[in-house]
Amino acid sequence: MTAVTDLDVFPPSPEFAATANAGPELAAAAEADRLGFWADQAARLHWHEPFTEVLDWTDAPVAKWFVGGKLNVAYNCVDRHVLDGHGDQVAIHWEGEPGDSRDLTYNDLLAEVSRAANYFTELGLEAGDRVAIYMPMIPEAIISMLACARLGLTHSVVFAGYSPTALRSRVDDAEARLIVTTDGQWRRGKSAPLKEAVDGALADGEHSVEHVLVVRRTGMDVPWTEKRDAWWDDTVAVASPEHEAQAFDSEHPLFILYTSGTTGKPKGIVHTTGGYLTQTSYTHHYVFDHKAGQDVYWCTADIGWVTGHSYIVYGPLSNRTTQVVYEGTPNSPNEHRHWEIVEKYGVTIYYTAPTLVRTFMKWGHAIPEAHNLSSIRLLGSVGEPINPEAWRWYRKHIGADKAPIVDTWWQTETGAIMMSPLPGVTATKPGAAMGPLPGISAKVVDDDGNDIALGETEAVGYLVLDQPWPAMLRGIWGDMDRYRETYWDRYADQGWYFAGDGAKVDEDDAFWVLGRVDDVMNVSGHRISTSEVESALVGHYGVAEAAVVGASDDTTGQGIVAFVILKESAHGGDADLVAELKAEVAREISPIAKPREIHIVPELPKTRSGKIMRRLLRDVAEGRELGDTSTLVDPKVFEAIRNS
Ligand code: WT7
């Protein structure tokens, strides 16, 4: 990482500060009375019944926020804006990949969400039931999420790039009764089947799914199971647009979202209602300096990830945002697509991932320069550390050298942004998430939990959250032991949440998040566990053993590098086999998990206790001198690996 000097500090401009939503009083209020501060933030929402207690932490590490309160998430995201007289405001400027587009006002959204809620009710679904959503970025995906929220159905959105196997394991784990999907999805001008993948996932019939609801998107032919399957057009589209929302308990489970952990089995992260909506609404308002009715906001994430949940659906809609939702990739039909969309809608706030910024850099600044991007007044980054070069490029070429950049650190588990500069308040440094937001508390500590002294720039520690926060996960679906073990056992004495990230704090008290310290890789901002990929590889008949590491990659942050030992029977034809193994991982998990390189090796480096030494494999993958090999059973194995 390039050294950062004083010249690299970007103080807020007086013009931005003059109209910023945030001011220094925000942090002062949170410091004076943390729980009172959160109670004030909760007042951003409409409560059908007020809460009686802000936080109940007696059952730690399972929190209850806004105890006794009742609210409806969809009412807060849709109905109340219509009732307040903003029904004609555009909620979603939707841009389809092939060039079709559609605007939905808050009135439209209310009618559509109500229709879907009426049809889900007709299917016999009841509050607490789970619904899987396996869809591309089309308005019906957001409508389905909101219809679930409206009825107290717990949704589990599964990224539409995931394989039938990955979908099935998530559907099984949550015991979903309904899957909402599409016939197919557009990908770089071609239609790819999706309903067929659902049928593949459900082929054996031994599952919890009673209904499959299908939105027509590409018009392709689909396999059909009578009684189980229904077209959205024949059902939701003809249902009544009137529906009265009921209120649910503040701790009612809103959604489950699966994310990779250190073992092969994805964790179903559980989020609830009142605290989650409070913090997503609060952070969206202040971190993005969002002004309802004026800004045009665009978060480029997919609803399959938490960023899509919190910063496309719940945070923005609770704040009556007008936003762009785009279905496709940034280079279809060409590399101008994002900037054409920015120009077309006058996007003012643009939130994306560092991997995309680095891709734009590779494409060259002539591309954004061909467009009028003067509407942009704030830029956001999320998903992985943003390297200072990319940060500077982003500010200069997309932000006209003046838009503040908010580098937002958070996780699927935290539910909402935890660390970020506050635009108009915080002076930023390229590459630093700066510090916890008002109301949030974080520390960087050593193995024993001692503070790492400020300014000890060389000392890298672990990032912990030492106070509960409203949007925190409430557990892992069906596995509370794993919840405690994964996040709370590491600093059990102190009662801190272990984030799994390495970090440091500099002499100005700025936090720098450095990346995962566990066996989780970060590829283009997607979290993938090494063991998930390893189990996909050993699932192939030719593979005896596999070890996977994340190696640094100029564009994607990390790239997946696999080392495999073949079974005797599979030797010969290695080149074909490598291609086949890559395809196998894409098929088993998703194309996003496809290894960048696969090395066929005769042996893997192991410790005397039989653990694979991934650290050394990472050295090999990144072309470095080997670290300490003294604990290896057979240090010579590296010659064999290097030569293969
Ligand atoms: C992990 C969480 C947060 C939504 C998208 C990813 C890394 C995320 C930053 C950032 C440095 C970051 C961390 C974190 N990460 N944002 N601004 N700076 N690292 O959610 O899939 O749950 O991944 O992403 O390593 O632990 P996720």
Token pair recorded at residue 436: 């916890």
The pLDDT value recorded for residue 638 is 67
Tokens of 346: 């006058």
Between the CA of 434 and the centroid of ligand 1 the distance, in Å, is 14
282, containing H or E segment: helix 274-287
Measured in angstroms, how far is the CA atom of residue 413 from the centroid of ligand 1? 10
Query: Mean pLDDT by 10-residue block, N- to C-terminus, for the chain (644 residues)?
Result: 65 98 98 98 98 98 98 99 98 98 98 98 98 98 99 98 96 98 95 97 96 98 98 98 98 97 87 98 99 98 98 99 97 97 98 96 97 98 95 98 98 98 98 97 95 70 98 98 97 98 93 91 91 92 93 93 88 79 94 94 83 86 74 65 65
Domain boundaries, the chain: 25-501, 524-643
Q: What is the pLDDT of residue 1?
A: 43
Distance 549 CA to ligand 1 centre (A): 18
Q: Which residue owns the Cα nearest ligand 1 atom 8? A: 383
**183 by DSSP, 3-state: which?**
coil
- Where does residue 28 fall: left (phi above 0), alpha (psi -120 to 50 degrees), or beta otherwise? alpha
∠ CA 602-606-612, nearest 5°, is: 95
CA 516 to chain centre: 15
Give the number of other CB atoms < 10 A from CB of residue 214: 23
Q: Are 186 and 97 in contact (CB under 8 A)?
A: yes
Residues in the ligand 1 pocket, defined by CB under 6 Å: 259, 305-307, 382-385, 407-412, 433, 499-501, 513, 515-516, 522, 525, 527
What is the predicted pLDDT for the residue at 265? 85
Phi first, then psi, for residue 103 (nearest 5°) are: -105, 135
Average pLDDT of the chain to the nearest whole number: 94
3 state DSSP class of 395 = helix
Residues 314 and 278: their CA atoms lie apart, in Å, by 10
The arrangement of secondary structure in 25-501, i.e. its CATH architecture, is 3-Layer(aba) Sandwich (3.40)
Helix/strand number for the chain, H first, E second: 21, 30
CA of 380 to the centre of ligand 1 (A): 13
Residue-wise pLDDT tens digits, 616-643: 899 889 988 766 666 665 666 766 676 6
* Element containing residue 374 per DSSP (H, E): none
- Whether the domain at 25-501 and the domain at 524-643 fall into the same CATH topology: no
> Which strand (E) or helix (H) includes residue 55?
strand 53-56
Beta bridge partners of 528: 521
Q: Using CA positions, which residue lies closest to atom 21 of ligand 1?
A: 527
Whose alpha carbon is nearest atom 20 of ligand 1? 411
CA distance 371 to 393: 16
- CA 383 / ligand 1 centre spacing (Å): 4
CATH superfamily of 524-643: ANL, C-terminal domain (3.30.300.30)
C-beta separation of 599 from 625 below 8 A = no
Give Cα separations from 301 to 198, 337, 538 (angstroms).
23, 15, 31
Q: Which of 629, 637, 631 is nearest to 603 (CA)?
A: 637
